[in-house]
């Protein structure tokens, strides 16, 4: 754990949907969408680990946001040194009626 890393601290501030030894998933306190956080302070998990994290996020995001109503965003803007990914809500103008 890195002392100054909010993701390592893993404080329960918002809705916590899931957690295990690999990751935890909660609403991001900034954008309030489900976010998966790898429990290791490292920005670059292996592709296999990334896939496992994305599957866990997809399970929660489909339930919370609705299947097909979100997209994966793993561009780590505010905390670039600790892997995490968001399930972003789909933009209404991108959905077909």
Which structure tokens are listed for 66? 């609705």
Segment 19-45 shows an average pLDDT of 97
CA–CA gap between residue 52 and residue 92 (Å, rounded):
28
Per-residue pLDDT for 4 more than 90? no
CATH, domain range 6-94: 3.30.428.10
Q: How many CB atoms within 10 Å of residue 92?
A: 7
Per-residue pLDDT for 37 more than 70? yes
State residue 96's pLDDT score.
47
Contacts of 24 (CB under 8 A, 6+ apart): 10, 16, 18, 36, 37, 39
What's the full length of the chain, in residues? 97
Does this model's pTM top 0.85? My answer is yes
Segment 29-42 shows an average pLDDT of 96
Would you state the torsion angle of the CA atoms of residues 69, 80, 26, 62, taken in this order, to the nearest 10 degrees?
20
Which position has the higher pLDDT, 64 or 2?
64
Query: In the predicted model, what is the mean pLDDT of the chain?
Result: 92
pLDDT over 90 percentage in the chain: 88
Per-residue pLDDT for 17 more than 70? yes
């Amino acid at each position: 754990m890195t002392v100054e890393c909010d993701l390592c601290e893993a404080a329960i501030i918002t809705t916590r949907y899931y957690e295990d030894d690999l990751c935890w998933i909660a609403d991001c306190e900034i954008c309030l969408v489900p976010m998966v956080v790898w429990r290791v302070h490292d920005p670059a998990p292996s592709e296999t680990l990334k896939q496992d994290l994305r599957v866990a996020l997809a399970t929660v995001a489909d339930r919370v946001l609705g299947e097909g109503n979100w997209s994966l965003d793993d561009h780590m803007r505010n905390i670039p040194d600790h892997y995490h990914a968001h399930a972003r809500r789909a933009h209404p103008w991108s959905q077909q009626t």
